Amino acid sequence: MEAATIKLIIISIVPVLFAIVVHEVAHGWVAKLRGDQTAYLMGRLTLNPFKHIDPVGTVLVPLVMIAMLGFAFGWAKPVPVDWRNLRSPRRDMVLVAAAGPGSNFVMALGWGVIMSLAIYFAPGLGSFAAPLALMAKVGVLINVVLMVFNLIPLPPLDGGRVAVGLLPPALADPLSRLEPFGMILILVLLATGLLGKILWPFVSVVAQFVLSLTGSGMS
């Protein structure tokens, strides 16, 4: 493995862990606010990454993605939510599902600010400026990728759950029945390269929007 790839992996650890862990905690936190204590009682409302690590999605997949494509992608163990405990299951399902992608957007903005500050204060930061700016760049990209990916309107992704909660029953019910096959379809699209072609234009637009808001650049 090349030195540059090893450096990128090391720099990516913090933003990748934060992106996928906070995403799951956000689901559980909103569920708790709406009446479901399941994730809280299981000790999942914590930023301790060891409570959320999935050996494949949190470790193996991000490492392979960085080595092959130069950016990270992954997932954590899903936070359990019992929809029956929610005060208004149909409405609250939308809020719980949207919390994950919403947290990624907020984190992308945060990393954009850090990137802007690292560039602005580069002379004072010395040798720390470039690694910090690169870490922030990874933070923006991984959070935007996770947000856009999870907003695909196909269960069991967050966007699918949002769609099921917002659509009228005549459309929501057939869509919800696709859940057992949703990830199979996603994996087929990923294997054929179509998923990247579909998502990347949206990722690029959102990333540029985030960076324009935070005054940073992504060269």
Residue-wise pLDDT for 71-127, tens only, equals: 666 678 889 999 999 999 999 999 999 999 999 999 999 999 999 999 999 988 888
Mean pLDDT of 31-46: 94
pLDDT band at 193 (very low <50, low <70, confident <90, very high): confident
Residue pair 112/213 in contact by the 8 Å Cβ criterion: yes
**Residue with tokens 């999942």, as numbered in its chain:** 44
Q: Looking at the predicted structure, is the pLDDT value of residue 24 above 90?
A: yes
Q: What angle do CA 149, 44, 91 make, to 5 degrees?
A: 60
Give yes or no for a contact between 45 and 32, defined as CB atoms under 8 angstroms apart: yes
Overall size of the chain counted in residues: 219
Mean pLDDT across the chain: 89
Averaged over 205-210, what is the pLDDT?
Answer: 96
Q: Which of the pair, 97 or 17, is modelled with greater confidence?
A: 97
Catalytic annotation on 24? yes
Q: Which of 12, 24, 79, 157 is catalytic?
A: 24
**DSSP secondary structure letter of residue 42:** T
How far is residue 94 from each of residues 49, 100, 108, 132, measured CA to CA in Å?
Answer: 25, 11, 21, 35
> Is residue 219 pLDDT above 50, yes or no?
no
- Which pair of tokens denotes residue 128? 């720390």
Q: Please write down the long-range contacts of 36-41, taking CB distance under 8 Å and 24 or more positions apart.
A: 36/81, 36/82, 36/83, 36/85, 36/86, 37/85, 38/80, 38/81, 38/82, 38/85, 39/79, 39/80, 39/81
- pLDDT band at 9; cut points 50, 70, 90: confident
CB-based burial, 57-79: b 16+ in 10 Å, e otherwise: bbeebbbebbeeeebbbbbbbbb
Average pLDDT of the residues in 45-72: 78
